[in-house]
Structure 1
Amino acid sequence: MPPSAFCTRCVGIFQGHYVPANILVQHNLIDSEAELLLTQSLTKGANTGWKVRLNNDPEKEAPAPYLHHSLQDLEESADECVFCAMIWERLSIEGFVYHPPILDEIKKKDLIGIPTIKSQVAHTGIFSFSIVYVTWSGHNWQGVTFHRFTVFKAIHVGNKDDRAIWKPVYDRQQSLLRIRRWLESSTATSDLRPQLPTRLLHCQPSSSPGGDPTVRLVDSINLDPSTRYTALTHRWGAAQPLKLLEARKSAFHDNISFASIPATFQDAIKLANDIGMEYIWIDSLCIIQDSKDDWQAEAARMASVYSQSYVTIAATTAEDSAAGLKQHTSMLRHPCEIIPSWTGFEDEIPPGPIRIIIQSGFCDEVLSKPLFRRGWTFQEWILSARTIHVARDQLWWTSATSMKSQGYAANETCEAYDFDVDRDHVHAMAPGALYSLTNESPETLARVWHDLLQEYTSRDLTFESDRLVAFAGIAASYQSFAKLPPGSYLAGIWRQVIPQDLLWVVTDGRKVLPPQLYRGPSWSWPSVEPAMNWNGKFSVGMRDINVDLLPDEEPWVAVGTVREASVEAVGSEFGPVSGGHLVFHGPLIKARLGLVLIDLSNRLTAEQAAEFVPGGKLWYMRNYVSLPNQTGAAAKSRAEMHMTMAHLDAVPSSMMSDEETDVYLAVIYCRIGLNVHPNAHTLVLVRGVEKGEYRRIGYVSLIEDVMNPWKETRDFGVFDALEDENEYLSVGDRPGYYNYRIV
């Protein structure tokens, strides 16, 4: 096929004479609604840069704007025209900006598009593209809706450097050759000792063209340690894949019928063969699925499985093992290039070939897909040195050594480009962030760790009991890169920075469910069981301590110290735990935690209340923290004034609305200087079973309404002393300090 297939209507966009868009208004070619759309989206005036193609037809009294397809014709043309496919894709994904009707309904209105161009828009390249959709009234064009294609970027590819990046044709065989060259030229990233997975699949290509490979299970102890293998990252989904079981080991060592292998695995094996690889690691076929011991042992080796694979194949669009790595023959895989012959852009748009790309392409086709919402696949992505993503339209590939940003990728028509990533709607962290940790400052190490946690905890797990083990590979790699000694890892928290790592929070507005099974001590983030928010993210946020302080800013001082810290690991130190505790020495303040219902009904009109709020009342539940002598109506009043509020991991089962319960505030950090407002980072605790024992239920940043007694002297002895000896293990070495245990 030609370098780019354009329909006649799309070719016409890049031909003819363009004039300022306000000509449409001056010649009464559009009605007031269309003018409003132009005003809102394109802005009025001849000097704004927005232009339309105007046709001068001798048989008509007035010129007419150049028209693109109707929506119905656009959908049909998308099967044959690359630019129509791009336009239809964006309209389907984004809807319409200013008037967002349902696409199926708006298609019935026989809408026609008027293309508009604005030159020299930085984010969108050498020009920006939009369409005003109109319908004919019999007298003029009536505006209905408008769409500005902000993710399109127009790139001039007339120079040698840009031509080297943007390939003029889609060619799968050439793509496979490029991938082979890329694999040979890119460097390894892992500092871990070379170690093959316990088992691999040996997939020997057929000697006859189109024949199926011969597949059998092999024990890696019989292989050269330098054997190259690929690993597969995929979703199990609803369809249960073929599994390695104890009873099948002997048969699998002899032969695994290719016909019995699920389609996704078959396609991954064929792709591995296409790039010269004969060995592949697939979890369900290389881990004995009915052996708990083997599963735990292999899960602990996950860091080496993916970090030392020659390349990882990601089944990006496959819903499960049966779906296969099928790719649509979409026009979107083909490059969109054209040489405009238009006039009206002299000295504005350089002449020569233009490539139009979708800047969000990598995000749309890879990072936003369900594979990137799964907890287990996070470490498979982060730890892999090189990954081939099998997307719906084409192959994409990424390298950890070059991928310092989330969007840096190559595909079958692009050598490498830093694509845009919408961080609010995707779950992706660049693997390069982990591999570049060597010799970094403690502040940078902490920030990367917290970013890893936030990305990981935003993903789904079928079994929340896997929360630690599905992160074990990353934790092991982080320990290696950060040069932390063995025994440093405590159920998701590092021994060297325990006080800071205790300050995790469940982000506001999230519902936190009590875990059904024990997953870790209450002070560790795996102990909470999240429900996802509107964009699918649950966030364990961290409080940065003494990071990016201003020159005159008071630093945070650790006022609590860890006397003991231990967990009971089940197997690897990075895997699940059956128990754990901290013994802390520091300020411990008895307080009250209350809930109050705040009536927000006055923020709604009567019509809104009647339509959206049952009973016409809108209530908001807010907690508040106060000292024992601040309880009652005064404390509730302060709660409504947005004073001290806790970030709760869980609401004590004994609490109901408008009730208060005893809590204890474990002060971890505070600002000591007398010239700053009193402020402290604290954990919210409730009593446990044993003497001096507590459980964490949340975090709170204490401000002046609670810390006021401490304001003048910075002495924790001003708070009421704990009277019951069962409230602590022992009295501390200064007033207000105690030794206590958190489990």
Structure 2
Amino acid sequence: MAKSRPFVGPEWNSKFFVQSDLDSSDSDSESLSNSPANVQADSREKEQRLCSRCSQMFATLDNLRCLTSRDGYKHHTKAELRESAKGGCPFCKEVLCQKRTTAACFDDDEPLESLKFFARREGTKEENLLVLPLIEESFPDIEGYEEFVAYPFEKWKIAGIGCGTSECGYNIRVQCVFTESDNPAAKYVERRSLAANFESSTKMFQAQRWLEDCRLEHPDCPRHLVPKLPTRVIDVGELGNSQSVRLHVRDRDEKAEYVALSYCWGGPQLFTTTISTLEDNIRSLPENKLPKTIQHAILVTRCLGIRYLWVDALCIIQDSYADKISEIANMGAIYKSATVTISAACASGVNVGFLWNRNRWVKKAYQFPFLLPDGKMTTVSLASFDVRTQQLTVEAIDQRAWCFQESLLSPRQLVFGSRELLWNCQTLQNEPIAKSNTAYLYDLRRLPRSVFSPQYADTHTNFERARIWNTIVESYTRRSISRLDDRLLAIEGVAEELAHIWNDTHVFGLMRGTLIRNLSWHIAVLSDHMGYPSIEPVLPIPTTLSFPSWTWVSVDSPVTIVELNVVDAALVSVTDENSTLHGPEIYGSTGKLVLKAKMLSMQDFSEDIFDKLQASISVDREDKMAVNNTSVLLLLGSSDGEGEISLILRRSKDGMFERIGLMINPFESLFKTHLKIVPALVTII
């Protein structure tokens, strides 16, 4: 079956963090829950305990020059490393415990060869439209680098060290070098220690500064505009005055800056705005009784110097159907117009909060003496993990369908993650508010900038627009949603924004202008944590279809959409009266799709034809026997590298058809062998 394309956007963005070698079998190694994913110098690791070869690595000018040379800094042989570890050197023990590293570094046929260390600088590389953080470039490979400079790190900062042997190469293990911001070595060392306290005034001041820089300086971000307020917002009042928090109802055209909150509900909400509590909430909101996540959002909003905060549970009347329909229809605009969105990414529920101390992630590192240009000594820290061993970080918010739309449409985000505070905007992605020792992966693709900056005309082709929408759908359907009848509503805001800039309309989760290219979806085959395909999560469609069979919204599963490079079918018409937010009829709505396309009946082929062709068939229903000799193939088009793409249909009432699956035929074309086939009008419900 066709493979899913990697795609992340402003927060689709797959986030990667540096992680320790989880395969270590050392008896002293920490459990996964305590793995040194992001580390900071531990005062218990005294530099005096280092052996002489370790403690001298950064301590003399000659050794710094060795680190930045092609010859490297000579360390221990394997036997010497064992002796040093037994003697109590914690860093030698760390290297020795990484069995994968020592097995790769040391050749049994060369027992006297020494391990060598080399300074590495920070860089990036682009791969499949992803930007990968790298700490692998050697100093001699830097254009214009001079080996015998007065001080090796004066012009180019050190970001890490690589180690290895001549036989196996010198990047077998690459470890991050970092220090504190107020350390004199910070001028020469790229990365910083991970901050444990998110509530500090320093962190909030840095966040406020990033917000101002973004609004005034970033070329791809919206300018400093004052938006119209949502219908209701929380007036957070003054810092330290819990009596001043209340629900504020917007005057007709009232404008003001406001913050939006994106968070996980984590179940039924105990504190909401209802018809009966509306007036009380307008008078006052008891701040100390609000859920932790909302309390923390109020505090951050005040620290940013902004008066208003939008939170769905309190700003939408939860037991008013009319108000919910009206406000949900505006949610895309609410997040898009917010000055900044607070993303409570790490909080699994509203009662958890996100300003808790991150001490569990502040793990051990090794402190090394470090020579400064003036001859004075300070210390730097060396991480206890390989910086290139990266693992996907999945935050609680990354699982929630509603939050996907909120992240896409937010022009700016303060992301309170499990490890640190990150900044996202249309110019930067996954940038730590304070430079840390954590390397993040980010994606070059995002929503078109014309969504946020109308002065830019959208120039995407039909093919590119289909790719943008299809990858959004793929990412979105991999998230969970508590109410299945919200599945279309929770992506409606994104669809509206894209339809606006493309001068298009959307119907049942597909774009009318690219509808044929949006039809080639199938149930996704997801991989387990080891990368092996899992069993297809095919779920039954309800007996009474809630949505037309031809839309991905009709199945309760993640989907993959095959990219059509050549389109053969043509759209004639599609009924969409009940596919948007206009009332209760959205649930249980139906729509007719009329295509002009070539069709083949499966009864014209032998039962083993698809095995011979090595065709891949994905069914939308739990009953795999639904595809039989009464089924019909409808040619959508073809995909480079995938082959011929056809819908699998079955006959329904009044000469119409229902979709039951998708066929990918990678080799011999079935339709080309039937040259006399004439495109016909087909109605699919």
Q: Same fold (TM over 0.5)?
A: yes
**3-state SS of paired residue (2:327):** helix
AA in 1 matched with 2:201: Q
Q: Which whole-Å CA distance do the structure 2 matches of 1:222 and 1:293 have between them? A: 19
Q: By how many angstroms is 1:246 displaced?
A: 1.0
Q: Does 1:383 align with 2:409?
A: yes
AA in 2 matched with 1:584: L
Tell me the residue number matched to 2:245.
215
Q: By how many angstroms is 1:571 displaced?
A: 4.9
Q: Does 1:662 align with 2:681?
A: no
Contact kept in structure 1, 2:272 and 2:318, CA below 8 Å: yes
Q: By how many angstroms is 1:96 displaced?
A: 8.3
Tell me the residue number matched to 1:141.
none
Q: Does 1:741 align with 2:679?
A: no
Q: By how many angstroms is 1:219 displaced?
A: 1.4
Q: How does 1:46-125 map to 2 (within 5 A)?
A: 51-52=75-76, 67-68=88-89, 118-120=117-119, 123-125=134-136
Tell me the residue number matched to 2:17.
none
Contact kept in structure 2, 1:262 and 1:321, CA below 8 Å: yes
**Greater shift after overlay, 467-476 or 448-457?**
448-457
Is the alpha carbon distance of 1:305 and 1:50 closer, same or farther for their aligned partners in structure 2, counting shifts above 3 Å?
farther
Q: By how many angstroms is 1:420 displaced?
A: 3.1
Q: Which whole-Å CA distance do the structure 2 matches of 1:256 and 1:192 have between them? A: 29
Q: By how many angstroms is 1:232 displaced?
A: 0.9
CA RMSD of aligned residues (A): 4.7
Q: Does 1:502 align with 2:508?
A: no
Contact kept in structure 1, 2:40 and 2:362, CA below 8 Å: no
Residues 572-629 of structure 1 deviation map (CA, whole Å, 9 limit, x = unaligned):
38994612111112211111xxxxxxxxxxxxxxxxxxxxxxxxxxxxxxxxxxx534
Tell me the residue number matched to 1:275.
304
Tell me the residue number matched to 1:698.
661
Gaps in structure 2 of 5+ consecutive residues: 1-38, 56-70, 103-113, 122-133, 137-158, 165-170, 216-220, 372-376, 526-534
Q: How does 1:223-622 map to 2 (within 5 A)?
A: 224-225=254-255, 227-238=256-267, 240-330=269-359, 332=361, 340=369, 354=380, 367-403=393-429, 408-414=430-436, 419-420=440-441, 438-442=457-461, 443-480=463-500, 482-485=501-504, 488-508=505-525, 509-516=535-542, 518-530=545-557, 538=558, 540-546=559-565, 556=566, 558-569=567-578, 571-572=580-581, 576=586, 578-591=589-602
Q: By how many angstroms is 1:168 displaced?
A: 9.7
User: For this pair of structures, how many residues does the alignment match?
Assistant: 549
AA in 2 matched with 1:495: R
**Greater shift after overlay, 376-385 or 559-568?**
559-568
Q: By how many angstroms is 1:304 displaced?
A: 1.1
Tell me the residue number matched to 1:346.
none
Q: Which whole-Å CA distance do the structure 2 matches of 1:18 and 1:353 have between them? A: 13
**3-state SS of paired residue (1:497):** helix
Contact kept in structure 1, 2:41 and 2:367, CA below 8 Å: no
Is the alpha carbon distance of 1:164 and 1:48 closer, same or farther for their aligned partners in structure 2, counting shifts above 3 Å?
closer
Tell me the residue number matched to 1:617.
none
Q: By how many angstroms is 1:359 displaced?
A: 9.2
Tell me the residue number matched to 2:156.
none
Contact kept in structure 1, 2:617 and 2:662, CA below 8 Å: yes
Contact kept in structure 1, 2:175 and 2:386, CA below 8 Å: yes
Is the alpha carbon distance of 1:527 and 1:97 closer, same or farther for their aligned partners in structure 2, counting shifts above 3 Å?
farther
What TM-score does the superposition give when structure 1 sets the normalisation length?
A: 0.63
Q: Which whole-Å CA distance do the structure 2 matches of 1:151 and 1:449 have between them? A: 38
Q: By how many angstroms is 1:700 displaced?
A: 1.0
| Pick aligned residue for 2:209 from 178, 181, 185 | 181
Larger RCO (alpha carbons 8 Å, 6+ apart): 2
Q: By how many angstroms is 1:163 displaced?
A: 6.3
Q: Does 1:686 align with 2:650?
A: yes
Residues 523-542 of structure 1 deviation map (CA, whole Å, 9 limit, x = unaligned):
11111111xxxxxxx3x222
Contact kept in structure 2, 1:296 and 1:571, CA below 8 Å: no
Residues 250-308 of structure 1 deviation map (CA, whole Å, 9 limit, x = unaligned):
11111122233222211211121122122101100011111122112111111111111
Q: Does 1:645 align with 2:616?
A: yes
Q: By how many angstroms is 1:330 displaced?
A: 0.8
AA in 1 matched with 2:305: G
Tell me the residue number matched to 2:176.
153
Is the alpha carbon distance of 1:654 and 1:417 closer, same or farther for their aligned partners in structure 2, counting shifts above 3 Å?
closer
Is the alpha carbon distance of 1:128 and 1:510 closer, same or farther for their aligned partners in structure 2, counting shifts above 3 Å?
farther
Gaps in structure 1 of 5+ consecutive residues: 20-46, 75-83, 100-114, 132-147, 343-350, 531-537, 547-555, 592-626, 718-735
Higher Cα Rg: structure 1 or 2? Answer: 1
Q: Which whole-Å CA distance do the structure 1 matches of 2:471 and 2:223 have between them? A: 20
AA in 2 matched with 1:543: V
AA in 1 matched with 2:478: S
AA in 2 matched with 1:468: L
Q: Which whole-Å CA distance do the structure 1 matches of 2:378 and 2:446 have between them? A: 35
Contact kept in structure 1, 2:46 and 2:367, CA below 8 Å: no
Q: By how many angstroms is 1:694 displaced?
A: 0.7
Is the alpha carbon distance of 1:272 and 1:359 closer, same or farther for their aligned partners in structure 2, counting shifts above 3 Å?
farther
Is the alpha carbon distance of 1:18 and 1:232 closer, same or farther for their aligned partners in structure 2, counting shifts above 3 Å?
closer
Q: By how many angstroms is 1:460 displaced?
A: 0.8
Q: By how many angstroms is 1:214 displaced?
A: 1.8
Q: Which whole-Å CA distance do the structure 1 matches of 2:582 and 2:562 have between them? A: 25
What TM-score does the superposition give when structure 2 sets the normalisation length?
A: 0.68
Q: By how many angstroms is 1:707 displaced?
A: 1.4
Q: Which whole-Å CA distance do the structure 2 matches of 1:377 and 1:151 have between them? A: 35
Q: Which whole-Å CA distance do the structure 2 matches of 1:371 and 1:189 have between them? A: 25
Report percent identity of matched pairs. 19
Q: By how many angstroms is 1:505 displaced?
A: 2.0
Contact kept in structure 2, 1:402 and 1:432, CA below 8 Å: no
Q: Which whole-Å CA distance do the structure 2 matches of 1:5 and 1:170 have between them? A: 12
Q: Which whole-Å CA distance do the structure 2 matches of 1:490 and 1:587 have between them? A: 23
| Pick aligned residue for 2:606 from 630, 643, 655 | 630
**3-state SS of paired residue (1:697):** strand
Is the alpha carbon distance of 1:253 and 1:562 closer, same or farther for their aligned partners in structure 2, counting shifts above 3 Å?
same
Q: Which whole-Å CA distance do the structure 2 matches of 1:489 and 1:170 have between them? A: 45
Tell me the residue number matched to 1:17.
53
Q: Which whole-Å CA distance do the structure 2 matches of 1:677 and 1:265 have between them? A: 49
Q: Which whole-Å CA distance do the structure 2 matches of 1:360 and 1:400 have between them? A: 27
**3-state SS of paired residue (1:389):** strand
Contact kept in structure 2, 1:669 and 1:681, CA below 8 Å: yes
Q: By how many angstroms is 1:340 displaced?
A: 3.4
Contact kept in structure 2, 1:217 and 1:253, CA below 8 Å: yes
Q: Which whole-Å CA distance do the structure 2 matches of 1:361 and 1:663 have between them? A: 50
**3-state SS of paired residue (1:478):** helix
Q: By how many angstroms is 1:663 displaced?
A: 0.6
Q: Which whole-Å CA distance do the structure 2 matches of 1:319 and 1:193 have between them? A: 32
Contact kept in structure 1, 2:599 and 2:632, CA below 8 Å: yes
Q: By how many angstroms is 1:504 displaced?
A: 1.6
Contact kept in structure 2, 1:401 and 1:435, CA below 8 Å: no
